[in-house]
């Protein structure tokens, strides 16, 4: 399948900080499902994601592309970098990390509203995450607040389980809004496996629980463009990448965060 990123999609992405890309991974759904199965059978992180008494199951793991060959192949051999370059309006596309989020049937727990940027040690205008369901999804789809990537202040990062502040210095951030109560424009779509929501690292997003009768597997890929630079945060970031050795203002080191080949957006 050939995926075209139109000028209208680029404009929408720049304006809203989010756009739907139908069929981005359409030719890679089976390999990505196999990768998720491999990742779930051998996770790097065993951190609990649900509190005692919360029903269902929420699997969450990241930074596995170099040990999950299906992820590596999809990332390096698909047209995802070309799509990212178009949307970010960037010459170069660097891999930041992959992320798997699986909600078992009957998981009531929502993914709380948050922006990813403040958890990361990288900042720039040119960033994109592609969130892709590997199962048909409606209620448990990703939900993004249009235009939130342009807000002046970062949204307060919190620990999802403990519900505590992620860093000291909460006054440096805006409180986490309640987009529904505050009448914000929330964009969400019914999606098929391999479709992707592209969203900026600063875009406020979240997801409902999965009350459907089937699993909701999702693969999220985080990429950065030309203007992305390493920044110091007030504490350990997520992901932490221990021993990275970078200092403020540097580009992300390419031996850890490779530049992706820009292949045509077809299988
Ligand atoms: O899959 C979810 O529930 C949330 C995904 C998310 O927050 C992300 O990909 O950044």
196: CATH: 2.60.120.620
> Does residue 71 sit within a domain?
yes
Smallest Cα–Cα separation from 218: which of 199, 235, 204?
Answer: 199
Give the pLDDT of residue 267.
45
- Which structure tokens are listed for 267? 């299988």
Give the pLDDT of residue 266.
65
> Does residue 204 sit within a domain?
yes
| Nearest residue (CA) to ligand 1, atom 10 | 116
The ligand 1 site (C-beta within 6 Å) comprises 99, 101, 111, 116, 129, 131, 142, 205, 207, 218, 220
CA atoms within 13 A on the CB side of 181: 4
Cβ atoms of 196 and 130 within 8 Å: the answer is yes
Closest atom, ligand 1, to C-alpha of 131: 9
Q: What are phi and psi of 184, to 5 degrees?
A: -80, 160
> Does residue 241 sit within a domain?
no
Pocket test for ligand 1, best of 218, 219, 222, 239 (most atoms within 8 A of CB): 218
Domain membership of residue 194 as a residue range: 7-230
Distance separating alpha carbons of residues 143 and 115, to the nearest angstrom: 12
Per residue, the 3-state secondary structure of 125-183, as one string, reads: CCEEEEEEECCCECCCCEEEECCHHHCCCCECCECCCCCCECCCCHHHCECCCCCCCCC
> Does residue 54 sit within a domain?
yes
Pocket test for ligand 1, best of 133, 144, 203, 207 (most atoms within 8 A of CB): 207
Cβ atoms of 93 and 227 within 8 Å: the answer is no
Distance separating alpha carbons of residues 47 and 29, to the nearest angstrom: 27
One pLDDT digit (tens) per residue for the chain, 267 residues: 777 899 999 999 999 999 999 999 999 999 999 999 999 999 997 666 777 777 788 899 999 999 999 999 999 999 999 999 999 999 999 999 999 999 999 999 899 999 999 999 999 999 999 999 999 999 999 999 999 999 999 999 998 766 788 888 778 899 999 999 999 999 999 999 999 999 999 999 999 999 999 999 999 999 999 999 999 999 999 999 999 999 999 999 999 999 999 998 764
> Does residue 179 sit within a domain?
yes
> Does residue 236 sit within a domain?
no
> Does residue 254 sit within a domain?
no
Number of structural domains found in the chain: 1
pTM: 0.96
Give the pLDDT of residue 190.
98
Cβ atoms of 123 and 117 within 8 Å: the answer is yes
> Does residue 255 sit within a domain?
no
Task: Please tell me the distance between residue 210's alpha carbon and the centre of ligand 1 in angstroms.
Answer: 13
Pocket test for ligand 1, best of 108, 142, 160 (most atoms within 8 A of CB): 142
């Amino acid at each position: 399948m050939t995926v075209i990123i139109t000028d209208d999609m680029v404009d929408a992405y720049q304006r809203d900080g989010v756009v739907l890309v139908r069929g981005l991974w359409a030719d890679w759904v089976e390999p990505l499902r196999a990768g998720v199965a491999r990742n779930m059978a051998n996770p790097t992180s065993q951190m609990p994601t649900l509190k005692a008494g919360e029903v269902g199951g929420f699997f969450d793991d990241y930074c596995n592309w170099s040990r999950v060959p299906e992820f590596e192949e999809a990332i390096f051999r698909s047209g995802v970098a070309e799509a990212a370059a178009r949307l970010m309006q960037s010459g170069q596309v660097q891999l930041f990390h992959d992320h798997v989020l699986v909600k078992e049937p009957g998981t009531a727990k929502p993914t709380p509203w948050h922006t990813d940027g403040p958890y990361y040690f990288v900042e720039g205008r040119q960033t994109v995450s592609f969130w892709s369901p590997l199962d048909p999804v409606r209620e448990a789809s990703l939900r993004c607040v249009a235009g939130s990537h342009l807000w002046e202040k970062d949204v307060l990062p919190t620990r999802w389980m403990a519900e505590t502040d992620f860093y000291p210095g909460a006054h440096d951030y805006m409180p986490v809004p309640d987009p529904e109560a505050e009448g914000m424009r929330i964009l969400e779509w019914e999606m098929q496996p391999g479709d992707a929501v592209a969203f900026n690292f600063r875009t406020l997003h979240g997801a409902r629980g999965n009350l459907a009768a089937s699993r909701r597997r999702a693969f999220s890929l985080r990429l950065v463009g030309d203007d992305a630079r390493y920044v110091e945060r007030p504490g350990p970031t997520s992901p932490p990448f221990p021993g990275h050795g970078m200092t403020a203002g540097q580009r992300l080191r390419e031996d850890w965060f490779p530049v992706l080949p820009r292949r045509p957006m077809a299988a």
